[in-house]
Amino acid sequence: MNIALVTGAYKGLGFEWCRQLGRRGYKVILTARDFEKARKAAEVLNQEDLVVYPKQLEVTDESALQELANWGQEMFSRIDLIVNNAGINPKDYSDKNQMAKAFYLDQLDAEEMLKVIHVNSLSPLLVVKHFRSLLKKSQNPKVINISSWLSSVSLLRFGGHYGYVGSKNLLNILNKSMALELQKDGIISVNVNPGWVKTDMGGQKAQFSSDEAVQNILSNVVDKIHLGDSGAFMNFDGILHPW
């Protein structure tokens, strides 16, 4: 039975990742910053006869990451798939003054920008840093980092939105570099644009439901990628996305 770790997974796209991986026979580690939210989400999935373990995790906290990796080592001795789904988008902040500090040029604040970069750009690498030894023990280790079409320099057609656009673009190049380092371990790591998804972030007018979005990525990316794809920025349909 394969083992998967999904970050930011108590709702939306992350929750659906846990459900569909569970249906595929994975044992799934479902993480959230709030343990009670993780526990309730896992309870729903366990009632569907899936094997889901709720864990509290702040992805920017390296001591918490190492603690979870130690637990994973004791429980399973390996990890087969990591889905780095956790992320923040300043446009969704309830505090619009805080939002403006990572959104508009006139209000731009370096500290607020760095908070977004820490979560969206650096944390996926930190997760892999602490779980690398467990990934190396898998026969087919894979890392899926959830990016966005907004990270594409060539496709961007509007200004502002600096925190989210910049952090996802940075994630693309950082993963490229990480993937080249991980190739010698046989670990595949790709970034994926899931498309416009009906979540709290995407809204209800979006193209795909969470169910459809995860199915797309599982069928077109997870099931098909090989070591030569590592470092790629891919679309939900498995085609390379413009940088």
For the chain, the maximum distance between any two Cα atoms, rounded to a whole number of angstroms, is 52
- Residue 124 is assigned to a structural domain of this protein: yes
Query: Which residues sit opposite 190 in a β-bridge?
Result: 144
User: Helix H segments across 122-232?
Assistant: 123-135, 162-182, 210-217
Three-class HEC string of 86-150: CCCCHHHCCCHHHHHCCCCHHHCCHHHHHHHHHHHHHHHHHHHHHHHHHHCCCCCCEEEEECCHH
Order of strands, sheet of 27-32, starting from the edge strand that comes earlier in the sequence: 51-56, 27-32, 3-6, 81-84, 142-146, 188-193, 233-235
Task: Answer yes or no: are the C-beta atoms of 123 and 86 closer than 8 Å.
Answer: yes
Altogether, the residues listed in the chain come to a count of: 243
Whole-number pLDDT of residue 58: 98
In a domain, 240, yes or no: no
Number of domains in the chain: 1
Locate 86 and state its tokens: 């956790």
- Whether 38 is covered by a domain: the verdict is yes
pLDDT of the chain, 243 residues: tens digit per residue? 899 999 999 999 999 999 999 999 999 999 999 999 999 999 999 999 999 999 999 999 999 999 999 999 999 999 999 999 999 999 999 999 999 999 999 999 999 999 999 999 999 999 999 999 999 999 999 999 999 999 999 999 999 999 999 999 999 999 999 999 999 999 999 999 998 776 665 556 667 888 899 999 999 999 999 999 999 999 999 999 999
Structure tokens at 186: 């046989």
Would residue 50 count as lying in a domain? yes
CATH of the domain at 197: 3.40.50.720
Say if 70 falls within a structural domain.
yes
pTM of the model: 0.95
Q: Does residue 190 lie in a domain region? A: yes
Give the pLDDT confidence of 142-171 residue by residue, as tens digits.
999 999 999 999 999 999 999 999 999 999
In a domain, 243, yes or no: no
Determine the Cα–Cα distance for residues 17 and 14; give it in Å rounded to an integer: 5
Q: Do residues 63 and 77 make contact, with C-beta atoms less than 8 angstroms apart?
A: no
CB 16 within 8 A of CB 50: no
- Give me the domain span that covers residue 152: 3-235
Handedness of CA 91, 179, 191, 42 (dihedral sign): negative
Q: How far apart are CA 200 and CA 203, in angstroms?
A: 6
Residue 111 belongs to a domain: yes
